[in-house]
Structure 1
Amino acid sequence: MEGDCLSCMKYLMFIFNFFIFVGGSVLLAVGGWVLFDPLGFRELVASNPLLFTGVYLLLALGSLLFLLGFLGCCGAIRENKCLLLFFFMLILFIFLSELAAAILAFLFREHMTREFFTRELKRHYQGHNTSDVFTSTWNAIMSSFECCGVSGPQDFDDSLFRLLSPSKAIPEACCHREGALQSRGPERQGSPHGRGPGRQLETGGGAYGEGGGCYSSLVDYFETYIYSAGALAIIVLTIELFAMVFSMCLFRGIQ
């Protein structure tokens, strides 16, 4: 009976990790195709900073799943204790990292206020410095969500950005082409001479417009997916827990 149970667990472990292996392979193939295909998808992705970051996250996740699936499949089918132990340690590391991230997010949720982000933006945002992670992240957010600052363009008053670029009122990441504004309706365009968040600026490249603050846009965006993300996180943690239990049971059952 014990041998049958071990054999059943072995094949369940193989099937489970085979799907992980296939999923990782698909993610790697999709990420590589988007980055290296000759049809222009690379240029399309590169024009959107968040998509560009997403492709590299896709490749990283695909590589991790590929390695996990390979270790699990080989360790189960060949009954290799070293591979099973390595698989268990990798899953345990991922599980503890995710758990730590969830705990930290819960503990520091009260610090993620509008005032906190405004203070950090004033202190650290540099404008064009793509080597600075904080600056490049904010540029990606403002470009993708078509917003400006935390509450609005006034967040850049008395900021590091204004010290580094005194001739500029707002960063270029805040600016959007007039055609894009027209497609969103007159309520976002505002008056060319206004002072509100929808005003337009005349620059050498043509008419631009300033978006509203990013804080509200981000809150609305994440609230849309918060329950789905929470459910997915619980499912993933449960699967990882079962994977660790199966791998240890198989490890202990191998003579």
Structure 2
Amino acid sequence: MTHGCLKCLKYTMCIANFLCFICGVALVGFGVFMMVNFKVTALTPSLPSFNLANMLLISGIIISCVSFLGFLGALKENRCLLLTFFLMLFFLLVVELTAACMLLLYENDIANWVEHDLNKGLEEAKGNHSDVSRSEWDLVQKTFDCCGVHNVSDWGDNVPVSCCLNDCTGSPTPQYRSTGCLDKMRSWFEENFLTTGISVIVLCIIEVLGMCFAMTLFCHISRSGLGYKL
């Protein structure tokens, strides 16, 4: 009975990690696709690499590597791989919980930093008239139905097309989006705070279950004397 349960646990880990590996590879592919086809610049100059394409790429690599370790360790019943998988999940869990605590403790400071950096990024985008340098601002302004950091006046006389509600090029009285992106982002975060919190809790539960499964298999292999079976 115990052997059957452990065998079921082993193949459950294999299937779950294989699905996570496929998702991670898909994220890597999508991130590379965005980097090649969309020349985006970061909204925050303090973090020049903090854009959607890079975040997808990094997340995909992490998910792929961790899930591959879990899949191979469970399939081969390898103690070294299972222990590495456990430690990596534990490290990710600690990082996620630390980031969540920092966001809650320093919410106002982070909000002020984001506002300052968005203003700085917008000033840099204003100085460059090419569409490439504004692509990420255009994406944000269209997605959140906003314009500038606080309002359309932030762009001065160099208002991008993404701020327009109508055809700005052919209209004598163009209409612009009235709300700033900072307020829209803050409202979106507040509206999705519960969903984000639930998602983080679910992710932590999945990671804890993965750690429990890995340690259970690790202890079973140690007791059975299989060693570093490959």
> What TM-score results when the alignment is normalised by the length of structure 1?
0.64
Normalised TM-score (structure 2): 0.70
- The aligned amino acid for 1:144 is V
Where does the alignment leave 5 or more consecutive residues of structure 2 unmatched? Answer: 44-49, 126-133, 226-230
1:221 aligns with 2:188: yes
Q: How large is the Cα RMSD of the aligned pairs?
A: 3.8
Count of matched residue pairs = 203
Give the Cα separation in 2 of the matches to 1:179 and 1:96.
40
Q: Provide the C-alpha distance between the structure 2 equivalents of 1:57 and 1:5, rounded to a whole number of angstroms.
A: 38
Alignment of 1:246 with 2:213, yes or no, is yes
Bigger radius of gyration, 1 or 2? 1
Match of 2:149 in 1: 149
Higher strand share: 1
Structure 1: how far apart are the matches of 2:34 and 2:115? 37
Q: Which residue is equivalent to 1:83?
A: 81
Question: Higher relative contact order at CA 8 Å, sep ≥6: structure 1 or structure 2?
Answer: 2
Secondary structure of the equivalent of 1:128? Answer: helix
Identity %: 27
Give per-residue Cα distances to partners, 1:82-117, cap 9 Å, x unaligned: 11111111111111100001111111224456xx35
1:106 to 104, 116, 123: 104
**Structure 1 CA distance, aligned partners of 2:14 and 2:51?**
32
Q: Deviations over 1:4-29 (max 9, x none)?
A: 33222211111111111111122223
CA offsets, 1:191-239, max 9 Å, x none? 97xxxxxxx8xxxxxxx96854333111222234322222211111110
CA deviation after TM superposition for structure 1 residue 64, in Å: 1.2
- Cα shift at 1:171: 9.0
Structure 2 counterpart of 1:18: 18
Gaps of 5+ in 1: 37-41, 130-137, 157-168, 193-199, 201-207
